[in-house]
Structure 1
């Protein structure tokens, strides 16, 4: 049974539609074909999993759109989140802190 949502053939990440534990199969389908990768770590419900290895500096693509840049190498099956993904427009929260608080 599928536990990862992938909507576009360009996607290199998918969304977990249930909690996935380390070493569990992450299963998704695309264009009528089923795929299976092994989770390298726990992937909580709603979080992203790398469908293939992504090199530092490469685009991270979800739903066919670039959602950010890999800030470090990401291996297939790894959790993709703020620790290894940076928005391609920068970290707006850091700029806000600098403007409002002088830090």
Structure 2
């Protein structure tokens, strides 16, 4: 059996910002593309999700969290999967240059 007593306890203040998200009452299928969705249909869905993000009081917290954990799917903090990937690739290149 896994020993869990050594794991850190919950730290509510680290995650409480999520309760303020504008997306909490939105349909989650707006933020995650269905299998096989492509082209203009995908772009329109992602833009509708991003419109919700633009009015969100915790957009930057969401964005930074998605980048920190390298969230592979969906629109988070107003960024699509491809946009997050580009940001992370740029950060990785900068990190390699600095090393």
* TM-score of the superposed pair, with normalisation by structure 2: 0.30
* TM-score of the superposed pair, with normalisation by structure 1: 0.29
Answer 1 or 2: which has greater helix percent: 2
